[in-house]
Amino acid sequence: MSKTILVVDDSDTVRQQVSLALKQAGFSIAEAADGQEGLAMIESNRNIAMVVCDVNMPRMNGLEMVESVKRKAENKTLPILMLTTEGQPSLIRRAKEAGAVGWIVKPFNATQLVQTAKHLTNA
Amino acid sequence: MLGASWFATRPAAETAAVDCAEVVHPQAVAELVHGKKRIVAWVEDLRALTEREILACGDVLSRIVDHVRALVADTDQTVQASLARSESLTSRFVTEMQDDILAQEDAVKQVLTLTDGIESAIDAINSLAQSSHMLAINARIEAARLGGDGRGVAVIADQMREMSKTVRVTADTVRASIAGLREGLPSVRERATSINERTRSFIDVMAEHVKSAARHSQGGASTSRLDAVIELSNVALSHLQFQDPLAQKLASMDRDLEVIVGRVRRVLDGDGELDAIEDGRASGGVEPAPGDVMLF
């Protein structure tokens, strides 16, 4: 069975792009349009193997989402990869401290994203 | 706003004029010059971002079209008709895309033109600084004659009222220019969205035509062309990601414009020295380049 990756981004275009690249590599995709929706999906779907998450989003931003997710013991090993236009060291540090596993600055390279996803999910 | 009441609270015309000349105006000019530089830099960034990605996308699309043309050679008549349609679709797309790009450039130029209002405000404040310098000199002379009939001081008071009017008009000019800038930003974004959607739809249709051609044609050459088209479509789509950083840049510009209006208003209201302007970026550490994968 293919592994499921949750893509959390408020931009339809980016969600479609990420999903397309990962689907072509054999992953199943779940999508959420903001941090709150992403959080709810992680809570309700235990099969999620990895999360790709934007930073700047309405309602709940990506960093807040990572902090909420990682507060729960059962999510400690869930890899969360940040995919964002931001590159500020302070934000990257905050993501790392919150428990994210990596940071990619948009625009992303589809091949590199797939390689990273395979590495992080042991696919 | 630096109005008549502001001057009235000062103990003497001399003090007020010196304050205007030496504190308020130079800082207001510095704020405006800095603000204008930032706006021009943002707009340039936006222009470069959209132009670079759209041109790169166009380049990839033209390679897709080359593959389609090559496929015509080894396909049957049914598919040739389909490919002919795709070629006509391509011509129409290229024309529409050119229109979109020109409209996007116009939208960016309009935004840039609005910074002229800020430029004229800078000139007005500069000229005001010179007037207030003259007033300071006059005030010193009249102050030396105080105890006379006081007419000289009255003249200075009139000149100061005129100055306060000019400051009010200048501040309104800045506010109007910046309000215009903020109103112009959504059109830049709308144009980018239009370019993006049109290109996506074009890629989808072309990919369908090529798949159909590959199904009907013979040999491995067509299959490898199909693979190339799929790969190129992915590359073209990745260039279309410019819309997301564009949206975020526009949102950040909008926030910063509000900050600039606030800072200029505070200076013109005579709230004294402001902190050094921050560029919003945290210092320390190296920022990763776009596309870099940084694993912790």
Mean pLDDT of chain B: 64
Are B238 and A116 an interchain contact pair (Cβ–Cβ within 8 Å)? Answer: no
Are B285 and A13 an interchain contact pair (Cβ–Cβ within 8 Å)? Answer: no
- Taking residues B229-249, report their average pLDDT: 68
* pLDDT at residue A89, rounded to an integer: 87
Whose CA is closest to B74, among B207, B196, B198, B225? Answer: B225
**Nearest CA distance, A101 vs chain B (angstrom):** 5
Report how many Cβ contacts below 8 Å link chain A to chain B.
89
Which chain A residue has its CA at the smallest distance from B53's CA?
A107
C-beta separation of A21 from A50 below 8 A:
no
- Taking residues B216-230, report their average pLDDT: 65
Top mean pLDDT of A67-71, B24-28, B123-127, B165-169 is at: A67-71
Q: How far apart are the C-alpha atoms of B22 and B217, rounded to whole Å?
A: 80
From the candidates A8, A12, A13, A22, which should be mutated to test the interface with B, based on the most B CB atoms within 10 A?
A: A13
pLDDT in tens, B168-212: 666 666 667 677 766 766 776 676 667 767 777 777 776 676 666
Over 50: is that where the pLDDT of B92 sits?
A: yes
Terminal-to-terminal C-alpha distance of chain A: 11
Report residue B276 CA to chain centroid gap.
22
Report residue B124 CA to chain centroid gap.
24
Over 70: is that where the pLDDT of B90 sits?
A: no
* Beta-strand pair A80-84/A102-105: parallel
Which amino acid, B159? Q
Confidence of residue B84 (pLDDT cuts 50, 70, 90): low
Are A14 and B295 an interchain contact pair (Cβ–Cβ within 8 Å)? Answer: no
pLDDT in tens, B254-272: 666 667 666 666 666 655 4
- Taking residues B272-278, report their average pLDDT: 44
Over 80: is that where the pLDDT of B243 sits?
A: no
pLDDT in tens, A1-43: 789 999 999 877 778 778 888 988 899 999 999 999 999 999 9
* pLDDT at residue A105, rounded to an integer: 85
Both tokens of residue B249? 């840049």
* pLDDT at residue B278, rounded to an integer: 42
Task: Kindly list the distances between the CA atom of residue B11 and the CA atoms of B16, B19, B138, B141, B209, in Å, as whole numbers in the listed order.
Answer: 8, 12, 16, 17, 82
Q: How far apart are the C-alpha atoms of A39 and A101, rounded to whole Å?
A: 17
Give every strand in the sheet of A80-84, ordered side by side: A28-32, A4-8, A48-53, A80-84, A102-105, B293-295
- Residue range of the domain that includes A24: 4-121
Are A105 and B291 an interchain contact pair (Cβ–Cβ within 8 Å)? Answer: yes
Task: Kindly list the distances between the CA atom of residue B112 and the CA atoms of A4, A48, B44, B176, in Å, as whole numbers in the listed order.
Answer: 46, 46, 9, 14
Residue A82 belongs to domain with CATH number: 3.40.50.2300
Whose CA is closest to B17, among B167, B163, B171? Answer: B163
Are B238 and A56 an interchain contact pair (Cβ–Cβ within 8 Å)? Answer: no
- Taking residues B135-160, report their average pLDDT: 65
From the candidates B244, B255, B278, which should be mutated to test the interface with A, based on the most A CB atoms within 10 A?
A: B244
Lowest-confidence pick of A19-28, A78-87, B6-15:
B6-15
In CATH terms, the fold of domain B4-268 is Ferritin (1.20.1260)
For chain B, where are the E strands, in sequence order?
A: 293-295
Confidence of residue B63 (pLDDT cuts 50, 70, 90): confident
Query: What DSSP line would sit under B161-173, residue for residue?
Result: HHHHHHHHHHHHH
* pLDDT at residue A30, rounded to an integer: 96
User: Based on the structure, what is the number of domains in chain A?
Assistant: 1
- Taking residues B43-70, report their average pLDDT: 70
Of B200, B238, B282, the CB nearest to A107: B238
From the candidates A8, A70, A92, which should be mutated to test the interface with B, based on the most B CB atoms within 10 A?
A: A92
Are B242 and A112 an interchain contact pair (Cβ–Cβ within 8 Å)? Answer: no
Q: Which residues of A touch B243 (CB under 8 A)?
A: 11, 13
Q: What is the pTM of this model?
A: 0.49
Whose CA is closest to B243, among B96, B132, B100? Answer: B100
Over 80: is that where the pLDDT of B150 sits?
A: no
* pLDDT at residue B199, rounded to an integer: 72
Report residue B65 CA to chain centroid gap.
34
For chain A, where are the E strands, in sequence order?
A: 4-8, 28-32, 48-53, 80-84, 102-105
Domain boundaries, chain B: 4-268
Are B293 and A96 an interchain contact pair (Cβ–Cβ within 8 Å)? Answer: no
